[in-house]
Chain A
Amino acid sequence: MTQAPQPAIQELPLPQVTQDALPYWEALKEEKLIFQRCTSCKSAIFPPRSDFCPYCNTYGQIEWEQSTGHGKVYSFSVVERPPTSAWNDRVPYNLGFIWLDEDWVIFSEIRGASKDMAIDASVSVEYETRGDFVLPIFNLRT
């Protein structure tokens, strides 16, 4: 019987990049957090996607825009049992959805004391280098 593929546990995972998101990852290398906006319906769009706006179904009207990196915690969880041993020395860490000021949502780590974590807490972006990537992470603003 074939065993299921087992994820490598020695290292923290790198993102598996889609072609639509290449500009996002390139901008992060310059410590810029960008997202997409449809110039037709004005909706913020994330995760990044091809030129077809998922909200107004217009084709060819999507542009990239830089975020202030400021937002609020929408939901969160303090992770006590990590997925692999690679995370052991980071436990506990906070993960959650962040509602950015430009009306889009990102999933990320939220750095700050677990006791200070709360829905609607203000956060701002910072950056963590991992391999050839730069990941956006967020800090609780006190």
Chain B
Amino acid sequence: MKLGNAAAIIGFGDAYADENNKRDPLQLATEATAIALADAGIEKTDVDTLFTGRAPWADCRPQWNNIFASHLQMPVIISSEITFHGAGVNAMLGFAVEKIVTGRADYVLCVQSDATPLFVDTVAMGAATDADPQFEYPYGPTIPALYAQWACRYMHEFGITEEDLAMVAVQHQDWGIHHPKAAKRRFGKIDIETVMNSPYIASPLRRWMCATWGPGGTAGAFIVASAEKAASARAPIYISGYGSYSTHEYLIERMALRNAPASLGPLPNLNTTGLTEAAAQAYEMADMRPDDMDMVQLSGNFAHTVLMEMEDLGFAKKGKAMDLVRSGAMEPGGSLPVDTNGGWLSFGQPGISCTVDSIVEAVRQLRGDAMGLAVPGAERAIVYGGGGMLACHAVSILSNKAS
């Protein structure tokens, strides 16, 4: 069954909140959905399938998918949360394609929102959610302290320095200062010294090497329909390929992993992720290679994960992504634009909607409608949604061309 380009995003909407415009996840998702429906030129009653990611951190009620559907009074054939952390938000698109190709759905609404910094103690909740409650949490880890375990090994094994990580943060800020919704935009341009002078959160990670909890809230909604329907849409974005992989939940279990595909390297390790497998599936479905991509949207919540993800997506050999950073390719004006809204490092992470922000950025760029710096002529984007402690991985390859 041919899945690549068999379906497309025929309408999308996004919505934003901040301290002066405090709005909760239901409100944000509703606004984004209303815009998406109008953009697709369909009615709410045309939607027959609803996918969300997991419940927003700022509204943790179980079966949030049904809560949202009820909020719109929108009965559907099936409504489900696609949850393997933030990766599920990206994987929604693949599930939508499969529903459409198999004839089980005509219009699939994929939506996610969150507003964590406006409603929740993010530092405390993050650690309580993502650390093993039996073998990790009693020792007092934070999310940065868990991700720092990867940084510690990655830097040790490949000779990466804190100044290298600082350069990654600087380049993300160079994109972020141009995006009106980016959480760190207000700090303006920074340099390596700015990053190196920021305090350690959890060594080797300094504050500027960590994503911030912001902007206040975001939402993205996507209407997915068949390629036939997309042919008459105003600006369809085709889902050319997708893939996913999941290796663990808690990091202590990742260290116990021994049976995994060869692409993860000799185990145990903390330098390569299941993204290798997810990316390979997506490239194969799309019949494309890394060289075919015009831009990349990552899940770079920390500076070192940007490097690891570029490698696992196939843009550099293991341990060599820093060469790509130094070359300037990933900067504004570079040959391979990465995280063009500032990424999670500078745009920020409003909660579980952080992956939807990456999809929104790709869709806006491919439609020639960027809110920040535009990448002129971009036709293909690869979007990575990662979740948990580098546990869950989903990749989408999006294109504004039908073939």
Contact = CB atoms under 8 A, between A and B. Distances in A.
B141 A95 contact: yes
Interface stretch (B52-60, B165-173, B174-182, B284-292): B52-60
A108 B255 CA distance: 13
Contact of A77 (B126, B202, B252, B258): B202
A64 interface: no
B123 interface: yes
B199 A6 contact: no
Given A1-B26, A13-B138, 13 more contacts: A1-B119, A4-B125, A6-B120, A46-B256, A74-B153, A77-B152, A78-B203, A79-B202, A80-B203, A83-B128, A84-B123, A95-B140, A109-B140
A12 B127 CA distance: 13
6 residue pairs, one from A and one from B, having the closest CB atoms: A77-B148, A83-B127, A16-B133, A78-B203, A75-B152, A105-B255
B139 A109 contact: yes
A92 B63 CA distance: 39
A76 B156 CA distance: 11
A78 B200 contact: yes
A96 interface: yes
B83 to A, nearest CB: 16
Contacts of A82: 140, 142
B138 A7 contact: no
A34 interface: no
Contacts of A55: 258-259
B138 A83 contact: no
A97 interface: yes
A92 to B, nearest CB: 8
Interface of A: 1-7, 9, 12-18, 21, 43, 45-47, 54-55, 74-84, 87, 90, 93, 95-97, 104-109, 114, 119, 130, 133, 135, 137
Most interface-central of B60, B133, B152, B201 (chain A CB within 10 A): B152
Contacts of A75: 149-150, 152-153, 270
Contacts of B151: 77
Contacts of A90: 140
B123 A130 contact: no
A107 B132 contact: yes
A108 to B, nearest CB: 6
Most interface-central of A18, A80, A107 (chain B CB within 10 A): A107
Contacts of A17: 134
B145 interface: yes
Most interface-central of B24, B126, B268 (chain A CB within 10 A): B268
A15 B133 contact: yes
A16 B205 CA distance: 28
B136 A81 contact: no
B134 A81 contact: no
Contacts of A81: 123, 142, 144, 201-202
B137 interface: yes
A16 B252 contact: no
A30 to B, nearest CB: 19
20 contacts: A6-B120, A9-B124, A12-B138, A13-B138, A13-B140, A14-B138, A15-B134, A15-B137, A55-B259, A74-B255, A77-B148, A77-B149, A79-B142, A81-B144, A83-B126, A83-B141, A84-B124, A95-B140, A107-B136, A133-B138
Given A3-B119, A12-B138, A90-B140, A77 B125 contact: no
Nearest to B251: A107
A97 B119 CA distance: 33
B141 to A, nearest CB: 6
B369 interface: no
A109 B145 CA distance: 12
A91 B203 CA distance: 12
B401 interface: no
A138 B26 CA distance: 46
B141 A5 contact: no
B252 A107 contact: yes
A80 B144 CA distance: 10
Interface string B143-166: 011001111110010000000000
Given A3-B119, A76-B152, A78-B200, A93 B140 contact: yes
B125 A7 contact: yes
Given A47-B135, A80-B202, A6 B124 contact: yes
